[in-house]
Structure 1
Amino acid sequence: MSAVKFSVRPSEKRGNANHGWLRSWHTFSFADYYDPKYQNYGALRVINEDRVAPATGFPTHPHREAEIFSYIVSGELAHKDTMGNVESMKRGQIQMTSGGSGIAHSEFNADRNPDGKDAHFLQIWALPYERNLKPQYYAREFSDEEKKDKWAHIVAPAKSTEFGVIDKRDASGPTPIHSAVNTFATLLSPAATVDHALVSRLVPDATNVKKVYLQVVQTTAYNPNAAVKDGAVAALVKVSLGGQEATLGEGDGVFIDGATVGENLVLENVSSKVAEVLLFEMD
């Protein structure tokens, strides 16, 4: 009998905040949303799917002891921090802030036209594997073509030696993170299938058992209700691993426990829409 266990996190069961200028989904407890069952998962502490209205955003605020990265889905996000980094990010770009001993930053929708386009992005926080690190900033870009019907390795531990990580502000390859988290992204075409073999241990003394979380991005439109699962209006995928499987719509996620290094995860698009999916893998 397989030791693999799937726990589906339906989109509408996530924490939700609608402030007008900000519409946000929270996979884990965040701000006014609290659920003792969803505090973190492995090193993952926050996955917020945010839509920020034009000419609005988050004023300067502090962070410490957190690895924070933004995955831009659409629109444009302007970043400014106390390390002197000023950047405007569009689709395909990733911005990583290693909070370490302490930084402050602001994030605004770069579209200053009130009738313009929302900035849609996922902001992810991970717990660092060392405390009191020197704050750092990294920027990377991954085109849609790099993610089309394959997994692009977009984030990897800075101290890993096998994933081609370059510990510089601007470079190619995965974005460095000071946490035991690998992150992959795909844009899966209708009827396409993509495989992923679980990678080796990130922490030397860890077991071969992995923690995996898969998130389908809510790309078609903001939907405060259950994911549409007719396969025509929005993306729908089937994920299978270790004899278990689940069907996920946009905004849905699944926690996968008990899988081991080398086991193969299979993702199939069973809809008529392109599916944008993020995969997080941890010891």
Structure 2
Amino acid sequence: MSKAAAFKFLPRLSASRGYADHGWLRTYHTFSFASYYSSADTSFGPLRVINEDNIARAKGFDTHHHREYEIFTYITRGEIVHRDSMGNVEVLKRGDVQYTSAGTGISHSEYAGDKSDASILQIWVRPDESGLTPTYYTRHHPEESKTGVLKKIITSRDNFGGAEKLKAVPRQDGKEELIPIPADVDFYATILKDSGDSVQHVFGKKAGETSRDGSRKRLGLVHLVMSSGIRKRSEPAPAGGAKLKVTAEDGTEQVLEEGDGLKIEAREGSQLTFESVGDRSAEFVFFDMGER
């Protein structure tokens, strides 16, 4: 990618995602997952999974095993009951982020609460290292803390300044503290309440590097949450839903509707603008990543 072509936008529209309806679960897959396979969409940088799930009341994922992935759940609606082999038992609500570094192996289950169905984003990232000790973090980010702000939630553990400081990061009850991830990934979330509201992002450099000459490639991915509800594939898109316009500093732009994603190739130090252009609040997540 030359200096003249500082940005490349690669839309991942909702209608092209993988989809499965299991009765108790409606799920959309940004990347190849389970029985869905797309050779063009197996991963993006270190990102391996973004599933947008609607789970029926009191139903969910029975105990199953993971290893060698960083797994986090972003709750957008309802409640999720989490249990795992490390002894963690929690009820997670809208605004919560539950993060597990699976490392050498963990088992867990996730169920919707018994009052209503629940909607989540389930995200997997490949770590930079293998054989890590499994760890668990939860954080709560109130609505107002993400409104009109590109709120950083997860960042490379290299940003924490050494092993001792990393050990001091709270595992649970950490409120809004950052979660460390063993990968070159920053994860953000935002809510833009009104049409015309906007936020900006400047692509960062790899953690631990001091130079920034604009020559290094960065990857970005933005996903606009289906805030009107995770509908069945056969159901029409809602009238007057959320819309998000993403604009690069070179004028490249893309308008996203609910469930749409956008993969971005950029340079460190380059800038994006995110603007709500729909009739409903736009809630989205964003990743700033290295190429691996």
Report how many aligned residue pairs link the two structures.
Answer: 275
d(CA) in 2 for partners of 1:4 and 1:280?
15
> Measured at CA, do residues 251 and 227 of structure 1 come closer, stay the same or move farther in structure 2, by a change above 3 Å?
farther
Q: What is the CA distance between 1:201 and its match in structure 2?
A: 1.4
* Residue equivalent to 2:218: 210
The residue that corresponds to 1:233 in the other structure is: 240
Pairing of 1:6-17 with structure 2 (within 5 A): 6-17=9-20
AA aligned opposite 1:48: N
Verify: 1:147 aligned to 2:151, yes or no.
Answer: no
Task: Please give the secondary structure, in 1, of the residue aligned with 2:159.
Answer: coil
Q: Retained in 2: the 8 A contact 1:45–1:125?
A: yes
| 1:227 positional shift | 8.0
Helix, strand or coil at the partner of 2:75: strand
> Structure 1 residues 110 and 226, CA, compared in 2 at 3 Å: closer, same or farther?
closer
The residue number in structure 1 matching 2:200 is: 195
Q: Cα deviation per residue 1:220-268 (whole Å; 9 max; x = unaligned)?
A: 0223269848xx62001110113210000000011011x1112111011
Aligned to 1:278: 285
For 2:77, the equivalent position in structure 1 comes to 74
Q: Matches of 1:201 and 1:243 in 2, distance apart?
A: 25
The residue type equivalent to 2:198 in the other structure is: T
TM-score (norm 2): 0.89
**Distance change >3 Å, CA 69–CA 29, structure 1 → 2:** same
* Pairing partner for 1:182 from 181, 186, 197: 186
- 1:167 alignment counterpart: 169
Worse overlay, 199-208 or 31-40: 199-208
- Which amino acid in the other structure matches residue 234 of structure 1? G
Q: Is the 8 A contact 1:227 1:250 kept in 2?
A: no
Q: Please tell me the residue identity of whatever aligns with 2:65.
A: P
1:157 and 1:88 map into 2 onto residues whose CA distance is: 26
Cα offset for 1:205? 11
For 2:229, the equivalent position in structure 1 comes to 221
Cα distance change, pair 227–245 in 1 and its aligned pair in 2 (3 A): farther
Asked whether the 8 Å contact 1:201–1:208 carries over to 2, the reply is no
Distance 2:86 2:36 in 1: 30
Kindly report the root-mean-square deviation, in angstroms, between the aligned alpha carbons of the 2 structures: 2.1
Distance 2:21 2:208 in 1: 38
Contact 1:96 1:177 in 2 (8 A): no
- 1:154-178 Cα shifts (integer Å, max 9, x gaps): 111223238x976330224222222
- Asked if 1 retains the 8 angstrom alpha-carbon contact of 2:60 and 2:112, the reply is yes
The counterpart of 1:97, out of the listed 89, 97, 100, is 100
One-letter amino acid of the counterpart of residue 119, structure 2: H
Please give the alpha-carbon distance, in whole angstroms, between the structure 2 residues aligned to 1:280 and 1:225: 29
Separation in 1 of the partners of 2:177 and 2:236?
Answer: 33
Write out per-residue CA displacement over residues 164-203 of structure 1, whole angstroms, 9 at most, x where no aligned residue.
9763302242222222211110001222111111122137
CA contact (8 A) 1:12 1:225 kept: no
Structure 2: stretches of 5+ with no match in the other structure = none
Structure 1 residue 263 and structure 2 residue 265: aligned?
no
The CA distance in 2 between the partners of 1:20 and 1:227, in whole Å, is 19
Aligned mates of 1:279, 1:109 — CA distance in 2? 25
Q: Which residue identity is paired with 1:34?
A: Y
| CA apart distance, 1:272 | 1.9
Alignment partner of 1:160: what SS? helix
Q: How far is the alpha carbon of 1:36 from its aligned partner?
A: 1.1
Q: Distance in 2 between matches of 1:272 and 1:101?
A: 45
- Rounded Cα–Cα distance in structure 2 between residues aligned with 1:94 and 1:67: 13
What is the CA–CA distance in structure 1 between the aligned matches of 2:97 and 2:33, rounded to whole Å?
Answer: 22
SS of residue in 1 equivalent to 2:39: coil
TM-score (norm 1): 0.92
